């Protein structure tokens, strides 16, 4: 690629919140390097051999599993014929951004491997859509409610482990207060409002907090009546991440009893996006949901 071929769209558009997400940047930079490699007519093994990389290093960089060092980026761009100084400078700037430590790594002591992909990327999403059949979604929980949910889980946790998990949940919630915060659209099973978690005081506080959040312009909450969720056939929690940038594929996170599935396979993502569409179409409107929520709050007075 020559200096006049400014085709990498990465360099000519703002990345917004993605710039503050090292994991997302690694995926974007890796995908861009893959495009450049294909354009240059090389396969990963060729690149490894020409640059003296260990076997499969190029593939790991392209998949975002291996951080790209500045020297590696320079060598790759040169091999792929990228000569425009502005492009190289911008690419190297983003490489430096991608090498920062993700905020969630400080919670590695309580962050399960199967939960990491969601936590790592949700802050980079333009839209987060979620369905929760048992509890208020984690991004909308109060600390007291979160503590009650965590303590009711199957694992026997020490007090400091519970605190750390609550802190993790609060850090995730802070992403909704950022300037480039994702738009959150949550559908909650009606039974969630009926289930008293942590006692009446904790539940009332949670419902009041949820009602306040529903008045924010970038947060939409709908309640799905019991007959709706029964007809749609949803039996587990689902979170769908929609990214504004084409360099990041949409993803779906599906909860199971003891683990989860995080997938970016188009067929799987489409299946769950369709399910969320049907739930949203059949659920109460946000206004109707708020009326129902306020009715439940009055029952705790």
pLDDT of residue 17: 76
Q: Please give the residue that has the higher pLDDT: either 207 or 3.
A: 207
Q: How far is CA 170 from CA 138, 143, 152, 219, in A?
A: 9, 7, 18, 17
Q: Cα(30)–Cα(63) distance, rounded to whole angstroms?
A: 6
pLDDT for 35 beyond 60: yes
Q: SS3 letters for the chain?
A: CCCCCCCCHHHHCCCHHHHHCHHHHHHHHHHHHHHHHHHCCCCHHHHHHHHCCCCCHHHHHHCCCCCCCHHHHHHHHHHCCCCCHHHHHHHHHHHHHHCCCCHHHHHCCCCCCCCHHHHHHHHHCCEEEEEECCCCCHHHCCHHHHHHHHHCCCCCCCHHHHHHHHHHHHHHHHHHHCCCCCEEEEEEEHHHHHCCCCCHHHHHHHHHHHHHHCCCCCEEEEEECHHHHHHHCCCCCEEEEECCCCCCCCEEEEECCCCEEEECCHHHHHHHHHHHHHHHHHCCCHHHHHHHHHHHHHCCC
User: Helix 70-79 crosses helix 44-51 at what angle (to 10 degrees)?
Assistant: 110
pLDDT of residue 12: 43
> In the predicted model, what is the mean pLDDT of residues 248-274?
89
> What percent of the chain shows pLDDT beyond 90?
75
Tokens of 5: 């071929």
pLDDT for 298 beyond 50: yes
Class of 103-298 per CATH?
A: alpha beta
> In the predicted model, what is the mean pLDDT of residues 106-129?
93
Tokens of 15: 């990345």
pLDDT for 213 beyond 50: yes
Q: Is the dihedral of CA 260, 262, 267, 273 positive or negative?
A: positive
pLDDT digits (tens, 9 = 90+) for 181-194: 899 999 999 999 99
> In the predicted model, what is the mean pLDDT of residues 29-37?
93
Q: Cα(38)–Cα(54) distance, rounded to whole angstroms?
A: 20
Q: Please give the residue that has the higher pLDDT: either 72 or 245.
A: 72
> In the predicted model, what is the mean pLDDT of residues 133-143?
96
* pTM for this entry: 0.88
Architecture of domain 14-98: Orthogonal Bundle (1.10)
pLDDT of residue 141: 98
> In the predicted model, what is the mean pLDDT of residues 21-39?
92
pLDDT of residue 148: 97
**Cβ distance 161 to 291 under 8 Å?**
no
Confidence of residue 233 (pLDDT cuts 50, 70, 90): low
pLDDT for 256 beyond 80: no
Domain ranges of the chain: 14-98, 103-298
Compute the mean pLDDT over every residue in the chain, rounded to the nearest whole number: 90
Q: Please give the residue that has the higher pLDDT: either 20 or 48.
A: 48
> In the predicted model, what is the mean pLDDT of residues 121-132?
94
pLDDT of residue 257: 65
pLDDT of residue 14: 65
pLDDT for 244 beyond 80: yes
Q: Please give the residue that has the higher pLDDT: either 139 or 175.
A: 139
């Amino acid at each position: 690629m020559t200096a006049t071929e400014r085709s990498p769209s990465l360099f000519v558009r703002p990345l917004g919140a993605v710039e503050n997400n090292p994991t997302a940047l690694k995926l974007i930079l890796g995908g861009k390097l893959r495009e450049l490699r294909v354009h240059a007519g090389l396969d990963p093994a060729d690149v490894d051999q020409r640059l003296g990389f260990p076997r499969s290093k190029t593939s790991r960089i392209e998949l975002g599993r291996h951080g790209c060092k500045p020297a590696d980026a320079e060598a790759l761009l040169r091999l792929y014929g990228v000569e425009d100084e502005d492009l190289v400078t911008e690419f190297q700037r983003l490489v430096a951004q991608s090498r920062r430590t993700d905020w969630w790594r400080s919670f590695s002591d309580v962050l399960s491997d199967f939960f990491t992909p969601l936590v790592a990327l949700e802050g980079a999403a333009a839209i987060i859509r979620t369905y929760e059949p048992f509890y208020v979604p984690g991004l909308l929980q109060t600390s007291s409610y979160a503590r009650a949910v965590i303590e009711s889980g199957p694992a026997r946790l020490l007090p400091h482990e519970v605190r750390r998990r609550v802190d993790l949940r609060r850090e995730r919630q802070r992403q909704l207060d950022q300037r480039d915060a994702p738009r959150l659209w949550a559908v909650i099973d009606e039974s969630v409002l009926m289930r008293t978690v942590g006692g009446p005081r904790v539940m009332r506080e949670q419902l009041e907090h949820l009602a306040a959040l529903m008045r924010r312009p970038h947060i939409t909450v709908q309640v799905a009546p019991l007959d709706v969720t029964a007809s749609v056939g949803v039996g587990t929690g689902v979170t769908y991440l929609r990214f504004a940038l084409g360099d990041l594929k949409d993803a779906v996170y599906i909860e199971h009893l003891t683990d989860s599935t995080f997938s970016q396979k188009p067929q799987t993502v489409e299946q769950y996006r369709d399910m969320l569409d049907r739930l949203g179409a059949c659920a109460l409107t946000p206004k109707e949901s708020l009326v129902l929520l306020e009715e439940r709050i009055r029952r705790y007075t």
